[in-house]
Structure 1
Amino acid sequence: MTTDIKEIMIRLESHRLWIETIGEQGEKLGIDEIDLQNVDMSQYPLDQAYITACIFDGMNLNHKDFSSSLLSSSTFISTNLEGADFCKSNVSYVNFTNANVKAARLADSECIETVFVQADLSDANLVAGLFDETDFRNAILFNADVRLATFERVLLKGAKLTGVRGLEEAFIKSINIGTPEQPNILAGEEARKWLEDNK
């Protein structure tokens, strides 16, 4: 966690060059266990990067492009991510508790044990995402698009599912309407019916 901001800026600049020259110059970003809360990310692309176990808590990252990045185990607690793009990203074990993820794109993303507790995912694009043991407790999923998404052992207690779109085309394997400690698992058609009844 001791990497200084100047060094991070140099690496971000190098990553931007790497993207702009399609890998001819610069270097792909790879950072691990760095607190980025005091780094101004506004000028830098964060797509196609390896950013693991880093801290983005409370930052303003609206419309930021994280597509095709590996973000495993990073935290975005109470972060503004409205319109952010996580398409084809790996956000497994990421913590989005209380984050603003409105209209964000999580299409084709991998969300294994990802935490969206109390996150606002209104109008989010979850198309073809993999949601395995993902925690959506008390999350807002108004008008979220879940076509072709896979749901397995997903926690949904208290989630607001009004207007969720594409359920009939989603792969609903199982959902947990209880808690991790006291699960209440619904599978297959029973899970789908519960989702339809609660949207």
Structure 2
Amino acid sequence: MTDGCLHTVYRNDTSHQCGLSSLEDGRCTFHTTEELHRTRDTVIPAMQEAASKQQTVYEADISGVDLTEFTFPDVEFVDADFRRGRLQNADLTAARFTTCDFGRADLRQADLRHCNLSDSSFRRADLREANLQETQFVQADFSNADLREATLTRTNLKNASLQNTDLRDVNLDETILEQADLRNANLQKATLSMTNLQHADLREGILSNADISMASMEEVRLDNARLNNADVREAFLQRSSLQDVDLMDADIRNAFLDRADLGGADLFNADFGESRLGGTRFAGARLNSGTEFDSYVPGDPAREDNTNQQAGFLEAINVYRRLERVHSENLLDDRTTDYAVRRRRLEQRLAWKERRWGEYLILRLQNLAVRYGRNPFRALAVSLLAILLFALVYPILGIVASGTTVTYPASITEVNAIVRTLRTGLLYSIRTFLPFVGPGAQPATDVAQAITALESLLGKLLLGLFGLDIAAQTGEENE
């Protein structure tokens, strides 16, 4: 046995020998090539020696060693190999680790609180029920690791890789997962309340029944992820991509979804009450009658919290237009009509505020006559009522049909004459109201001629208003 380990460490263009007590081959437990020398009985004294000398241990090979329930001393490991190590219930809180490898290690119920394990690897490691609270894992690799029921509150996992990681029932409250790679990760029933997930990649992840309330998720990628029954209340999802995401039965109330993309998403029975939807895309999203949106979105004067600002009006109009379109795509006709009417009322109000009187008048008349073209029965009823009223008036004023002046008979007992008169008046009224029907009778007096012109104008106006609205709807659907 020599006086010290001869293993040479190269760092920062300098080299030095390890110096820890060596074994028969001139190397210490950490650097021996003989696996049989790396046992619990030899590793623990070597750690204690390094701690007493306040010596950093570089490139240590502790792979496969059983350190179950061992309490690590205050020693720093750099580039250490703990692969396949048995560290169940071990206490690592006093040690320091830099770019170490814990691949396939058994760390069940281990205590790693407050450790700095940045740039370390835990690929396929078993960390079930481990305590990782307030630990630094910046750029660490947890690919395919098992972290079920682990505690990661206030842990820093910025830029960490957690692909295919099992995080079911994990507590991630106030954890930093900014720019983390969580593709295909299983976060079912996980708690991520107030977690920082900005710019994270959660594509095809499973977040069913997860609590993501108040999480910061700006510009997150959640395409094809499963968030059914998830609690997404007050989450910040601005500019995030949620294409083809499953949000069935999710609670998304008061969430911030400005300029988010929900194209092709499953929104059956999802609740978006009070959510911010400015610029949110819903192209191809699937809704049903159980999908809930606000009756009046922010910016609508009907809301008590409305600021009555023009910018708010424009945002509300755009939101209503998108909601109208997605409900129309899903054949939810009643709600399509509701959002269309709310949009047109806002456009009418905005036209008034901006003193665009012509547009305001047209919208006003469209509302009165045909409910902005959304109620064909109203248009039909108004037209029929107008035709009938004018038909009753014309015989009083006098009209000429087949060279004979038609007026009501002197006696109400002349039933046949009254019927013929009403029929003539009705036909004349129909021909006058509908511009594409040919001429028939003629007005017999100046007053009758004036009333005829009025009915003709009213008919053209009603048909024109209805046609304008249909054209506008067609244009919007083709956008």
**TM-score of the superposed pair, with normalisation by structure 1:** 0.77
Q: Percent of aligned positions with the same letter in both sequences? A: 19
- Asked if the contact 1:33/1:52 (under 8 Å) is kept, the reply is no
* Residue 87 of structure 1: how far off its partner (Å): 0.5
> Does the alignment pair 1:171 with 2:224?
no
The one-letter code sitting in structure 2 at the alignment partner of 1:55 is N
* Residue 51 of structure 1: how far off its partner (Å): 1.0
The one-letter code sitting in structure 2 at the alignment partner of 1:71 is L
Greater helix fraction, Structure 1 or Structure 2: 2
> Does the alignment pair 1:36 with 2:97?
yes
The residue that corresponds to 2:66 in the other structure is 13
For residues 80-99 of structure 1, what are the alpha-carbon distances to aligned partners after superposition, in whole Å with 9 as ceiling and x for unaligned? 21111111000011111111
How do 1:87-106 and structure 2 match up within 5 A?
87-106=148-167
Query: Could you tell me how far apart the structure 2 residues matched to 1:115 and 1:3 are?
Result: 32
The residue that corresponds to 2:199 in the other structure is 138
The residue that corresponds to 2:322 in the other structure is none
Query: Could you tell me how far apart the structure 1 residues matched to 2:142 and 2:159 are?
Result: 11
The one-letter code sitting in structure 1 at the alignment partner of 2:120 is M
For residues 70-129 of structure 1, what are the alpha-carbon distances to aligned partners after superposition, in whole Å with 9 as ceiling and x for unaligned? 100111111121111111000011111111111101100001111111111000000000
Give the number of equivalent residue pairs. 180
Match of 1:120 among 156, 172, 181: 181
C-alpha distance 3-91 of structure 1, shift in aligned 2 (>3 A) = farther
The residue that corresponds to 1:197 in the other structure is 262
The one-letter code sitting in structure 2 at the alignment partner of 1:173 is R
The residue that corresponds to 2:142 in the other structure is 81
Secondary structure of the corresponding residue to residue 152 of structure 1: coil
- Asked if the contact 1:33/1:55 (under 8 Å) is kept, the reply is no
Secondary structure of the corresponding residue to residue 97 of structure 2: coil
- Asked if the contact 2:233/2:254 (under 8 Å) is kept, the reply is no
- Asked if the contact 2:142/2:161 (under 8 Å) is kept, the reply is yes
Match of 1:49 among 110, 122, 136: 110
- Asked if the contact 1:151/1:171 (under 8 Å) is kept, the reply is yes
> Does the alignment pair 1:71 with 2:132?
yes
* Residue 172 of structure 1: how far off its partner (Å): 2.2
Query: Could you tell me how far apart the structure 2 residues matched to 1:43 and 1:161 are?
Result: 28
Tell which structure's C-alpha radius of gyration is larger.
Answer: 2
Secondary structure of the corresponding residue to residue 66 of structure 2: helix
Query: Could you tell me how far apart the structure 1 residues matched to 2:256 and 2:155 are?
Result: 26
Secondary structure of the corresponding residue to residue 36 of structure 1: strand
CA RMSD in angstroms, aligned pairs only:
3.2
* Residue 162 of structure 1: how far off its partner (Å): 0.9
Q: Greater RCO between the two (CA within 8 Å, min separation 6)?
A: 1
- Asked if the contact 1:16/1:45 (under 8 Å) is kept, the reply is no
- Asked if the contact 2:89/2:108 (under 8 Å) is kept, the reply is no
Secondary structure of the corresponding residue to residue 253 of structure 2: helix
Query: Could you tell me how far apart the structure 2 residues matched to 1:75 and 1:177 are?
Result: 25
C-alpha distance 44-174 of structure 1, shift in aligned 2 (>3 A) = same
The farther-off stretch of 85-94 and 169-178 is: 169-178
- Asked if the contact 1:154/1:175 (under 8 Å) is kept, the reply is yes
Query: Could you tell me how far apart the structure 2 residues matched to 1:3 and 1:46 are?
Result: 25
* Residue 57 of structure 1: how far off its partner (Å): 1.1
Greater strand fraction, Structure 1 or Structure 2: 1
The farther-off stretch of 58-67 and 102-111 is: 58-67
**TM-score of the superposed pair, with normalisation by structure 2:** 0.34
Secondary structure of the corresponding residue to residue 68 of structure 2: helix
Unaligned ranges ≥5, structure 2: 1-50, 71-86, 239-250, 266-479
* Residue 44 of structure 1: how far off its partner (Å): 3.4
For residues 161-193 of structure 1, what are the alpha-carbon distances to aligned partners after superposition, in whole Å with 9 as ceiling and x for unaligned? 11111x232122320247xxxxxxxx8435397
The one-letter code sitting in structure 2 at the alignment partner of 1:13 is D
* Residue 16 of structure 1: how far off its partner (Å): 7.1
* Residue 40 of structure 1: how far off its partner (Å): 4.4
Secondary structure of the corresponding residue to residue 89 of structure 2: coil
Secondary structure of the corresponding residue to residue 212 of structure 2: strand
Unaligned ranges ≥5, structure 1: 18-25, 179-186
Secondary structure of the corresponding residue to residue 99 of structure 1: coil
Match of 1:152 among 213, 228, 231: 213
C-alpha distance 50-3 of structure 1, shift in aligned 2 (>3 A) = farther
